[in-house]
C-alpha cells in the first residue's frame, strides 16, 4: 500500500518522555515528506505548544490541535476553529468545580486557570506556555477552545461519566493521559479532523496512517487505513490498532514510518 498521509500524536507517542523528538524519528519523518507523503500532528496540545515541534520538522500541513477543535497551518492560516459554546462551557466548569479537580480553560490559544496549583504548574511546564489567571466560570466571556480537568485517574473517570450523563451531545469528553480529562466541542475529535483533512486532499482513508497512545486517539486509529498504537499505549487502543509498534522512548513512530513508508530493511508490517 502506498500511504499518502500520516497523522501522529505528540505526547507519549512521537515525543519521548523528556519531551524531545529523536533524531531517528526526525529522519524518518523528513524522508517520508521527501517521498511526497504528507505528515501532520494530531494532538490535544495547544496550537502554540505544538508549533515549535512542527517548525523543527518543517511540517507544512494543517496541524490538528486541541483534540481537533483548532486546525491551523504552521504559518498561522486557520482552517477551522470549533470552540465550546459559552453557556455550555460555563455550566461544565460550574459542575466540575466542587470536585476539587484542577481546571484549565483555553481562550485565543492562551492558558487560563483560576489559581496556581501543583497540577497547574506541572501542566504549564509540559506545555511550555505562560499562565493567565481568570475567575472561572464567572469571568469567562469568550467561547473556550477546550476545558481540561487535571487530577487523579480514578477521580477523572468518575467526572467523565458524570459529564457525559449530564451534558450528553453538547460536549466531547475523553482522556489524553491518566491525569488529563479533555472537554471539547462535540465534533472536535482527532478522528473527525483527520477525516476532514484527508477528504479535503482527496486521500482515501485506506492510504492514511494514524499513530497514538491514548483514548483520545481511538477514533482516528479506527478511521485510518492503518492504525498504530505505541507499546506504552492503553490496552483499549492496542486492541483497536492494526499494529502495536515500539514505545515512544524506543522510536516506535520511526519504526512504523521506516517499514510502511520508507520500506527499509525490506520488512513489511502485516
Q: What is the mean pLDDT of residues 102-122?
A: 95
Exposed/middle/buried for 250, CB within 10 Å: 0-12, 13-18, 19+?
A: middle
Exposed/middle/buried for 11, CB within 10 Å: 0-12, 13-18, 19+?
A: buried
In the chain, pLDDT over 70 holds for what percent of residues?
A: 97
Domains with residue ranges and CATH for the chain: 5-81+188-266 (3.40.50.1000), 86-184 (3.30.1240.10)
C-alpha angle 225-229-235 in degrees, rounded to nearest 5: 120
> H helices then E strands: how many in the chain?
9, 14
Give the Cα separation of 184 and 45 in Å (integer): 12
pLDDT attached to residue 122: 87
Find how far residue 230's CA is from the centre of its chain.
Answer: 14
**What is the 3 state secondary structure string of 93-112?**
HHHHHHHCCEEEEEECCEEE
User: Known catalytic residues?
Assistant: 9
Give the Cα separation of 188 and 55 in Å (integer): 24
- pTM (two decimals): 0.95
Give the Cα separation of 112 and 117 in Å (integer): 12
Q: Are strands 146-150 and 102-107 parallel, antiparallel or unpaired?
A: antiparallel
pLDDT attached to residue 269: 47
pLDDT attached to residue 126: 87
Give the Cα separation of 184 and 71 in Å (integer): 14
Task: Flag whether pLDDT at 109 surpasses 60.
Answer: yes
DSSP of 21-41: --HHHHHHHHHHHHTT-EEEE
Residues ≥6 apart with Cβ < 8 Å to 87: none
Convert the pLDDT of each residue in 202-228 to its tens digit.
Answer: 999 999 999 999 999 999 999 999 999
Question: Per-residue confidence at 116, pLDDT binned at 50, 70, 90?
Answer: confident
pLDDT attached to residue 260: 97
pLDDT attached to residue 265: 52
Give the Cα separation of 134 and 155 in Å (integer): 24
Convert the pLDDT of each residue in 239-257 to its tens digit.
Answer: 999 999 999 999 999 999 9
Give the Cα separation of 7 and 194 in Å (integer): 8
Amino acid at each position: 500500500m502506498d500511504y499518502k498521509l500520516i497523522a501522529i500524536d505528540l505526547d507519549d507517542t512521537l515525543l519521548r518522555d523528556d519531551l524531545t523528538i529523536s533524531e531517528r524519528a526526525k529522519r524518518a519523518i523528513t524522508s517520508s515528506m521527501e517521498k511526497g507523503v504528507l505528515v501532520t500532528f494530531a494532538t490535544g496540545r495547544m496550537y502554540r505548544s505544538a508549533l515549535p515541534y512542527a517548525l523543527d520538522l518543517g511540517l507544512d500541513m494543517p496541524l490538528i490541535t486541541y483534540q481537533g477543535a483548532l486546525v491551523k497551518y504552521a504559518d498561522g492560516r486557520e482552517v477551522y476553529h470549533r470552540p465550546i459554546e459559552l453557556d455550555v462551557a460555563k455550566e461544565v466548569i460550574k459542575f466540575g468545580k466542587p470536585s476539587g479537580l484542577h481546571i484549565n480553560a483555553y481562550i485565543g490559544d492562551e492558558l487560563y486557570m483560576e489559581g496556581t496549583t501543583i497540577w497547574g504548574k506541572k501542566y504549564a511546564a509540559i506545555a511550555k506556555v505562560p499562565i493567565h489567571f481568570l475567575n472561572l466560570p464567572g469571568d469567562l466571556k469568550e467561547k473556550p477552545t477546550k476545558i481540561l480537568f487535571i487530577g487523579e485517574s480514578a477521580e477523572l473517570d468518575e467526572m467523565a461519566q458524570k459529564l457525559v450523563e449530564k451534558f450528553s451531545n453538547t460536549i466531547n469528553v475523553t482522556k489524553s493521559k491518566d491525569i488529563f480529562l479533555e472537554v471539547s466541542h462535540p465534533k472536535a475529535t482527532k478522528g473527525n479532523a483527520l477525516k476532514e483533512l484527508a477528504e479535503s486532499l482527496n486521500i482515501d482513508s485506506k492510504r492514511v496512517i494514524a499513530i497514538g497512545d491514548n483514548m483520545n486517539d481511538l477514533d482516528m486509529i479506527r478511521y485510518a487505513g492503518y492504525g498504530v498504537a505505541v507499546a506504552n499505549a492503553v490496552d483499549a487502543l492496542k486492541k483497536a490498532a492494526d499494529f502495536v509498534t515500539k514505545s515512544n522512548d524506543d522510536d516506535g513512530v520511526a519504526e512504523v514510518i521506516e517499514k510502511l513508508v520508507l520500506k527499509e530493511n525490506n520488512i513489511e508490517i502485516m
